[in-house]
Amino acid sequence: MIVLGSNSEVAQAFVEKLLKSGEKHSKIFLFTSNRETTEKFAKHLEVKYVQQSEIIDLDLLISIDYSSLEHINSNLLFCATGFLGMGTEEGLYDNRNTQNIIDVNYAKLVPVLNYFADKMERKRTGTMIVLSSVAGDRGRQSNFIYGSAKAGLTAYLSGLRNYLFDKKVHVLTIKPGFMATKMTEGFPLNPKLTATPKQAADGIYQAYKNKRNTAYVLPIWGFIMLIIRNIPEFIFKKLKL
């Protein structure tokens, strides 16, 4: 199994869910930009599930050496990399912020996903599970740089799914809404709309087992986004969302 963004609490909960439900992997490849915390997770997997893993440094903001990835092969990829950056008010005209958001969520990420898609396509088997965001469903004034990068990612995944369909590779797009993670700690999130990492992992696991194409982590978000997507633009532009 390949995990991009191994320090994400959702990624970790998903890996645990998978191992708990008895799926075996000869090795888990943990990609990370923070080796220290990932090492903790690797040891945890070793103790709790007698599961071997290998840590691979990957910082999307620095260049990627693909030759070091050659030995990595797996028919399951889970991608939870993401970068929220600063929202519109603080960060819109900060070019560095804008660039980082676009790079981590789309520009630098897509080539990495392509790299592994290619490997799966050649083997004609595999599943790619990628976390996009509800923010990509429609640009809103509060965080549309992030939203636009995620919209790009969602579109890429949809095309990739279409392309890989007859090559027996499945692509699952996950659209989390609010999640109670380190990233959102301290924000006043409505508990009914907020998933814990464990809930998210359970939901994603179900979607994976049912071979869904796209899934919201909490079903209620499907409904909310249906409404948000359908508000006519001349009204939407006046809303403070």
Partner 1 sequence: MKPNFKREVSNWGNFPVVEKEIRSEDSLAKIQEFVRTNHEIIARGNGRCYGDASLAENIFSTKRLNKFISFDRLNGIIECESGVLLSDVLEVIIPQGYFLFVTPGTKFITVGGAIASDVHGKNHHMEGCFSEYVLEFSLLNENSEVLICSPTQNSEKFWATIGGMGLSGIILSAKFKLKNIETSYIRQESIKAENLDEIFQLFDESETWTYNVAWIDCLQKGENLGRSILMRGEHAFKHQLPKNLQNNPLNMEKKISPTVPFYFPGFVLNNLAVKLFNFFYFKKQTKKVVKNIVHYETFFYPLDIVNHWNRIYGKKGFIQYQMVLPKSNGKEGMKKILETIAESGNGSFLAVLKLFGKHNEAAYNSFPFEGYTLALDFKINSKLKKLVESLDQIVEQYGGRIYLTKDSMSKPSLVNYLKNVNNSKFVSLQSKRIHNG
Positions that interact with partner 1 (CB under 8 A): 36-37, 40-41, 43-44, 47-48, 87, 182, 185-188
Place of tokens 């909960």: 13
Choice between 198 and 212, CB closer to partner 1: 198
Choice between 17 and 170, CB closer to partner 1: 17
Residue 220: count of CB within 10 angstroms of its CB: 13
Choice between 188 and 219, CB closer to partner 1: 188
Choice between 23 and 118, CB closer to partner 1: 23
Question: For residues 30 and 187, what is the distance between their CA atoms, to the nearest angstrom?
Answer: 29
Least Å from the CB of residue 54 to partner 1: 18
Read off the tokens for 101: 């958001």
Residue 156: count of CB within 10 angstroms of its CB: 19
Choice between 49 and 213, CB closer to partner 1: 49
Choice between 13 and 172, CB closer to partner 1: 13
Choice between 141 and 214, CB closer to partner 1: 141
Least Å from the CB of residue 156 to partner 1: 29
Least Å from the CB of residue 9 to partner 1: 8
Least Å from the CB of residue 48 to partner 1: 5
Biggest CA pair distance of the chain: 57
Reading phi first (left if > 0) and then psi (alpha if -120 to 50, else beta), residue 190 is in beta
Question: For residues 122 and 194, what is the distance between their CA atoms, to the nearest angstrom?
Answer: 39
Least Å from the CB of residue 176 to partner 1: 18
CA distances from 174 to 134, 217, 234 (A): 9, 7, 29
Least Å from the CB of residue 50 to partner 1: 9
Least Å from the CB of residue 43 to partner 1: 6
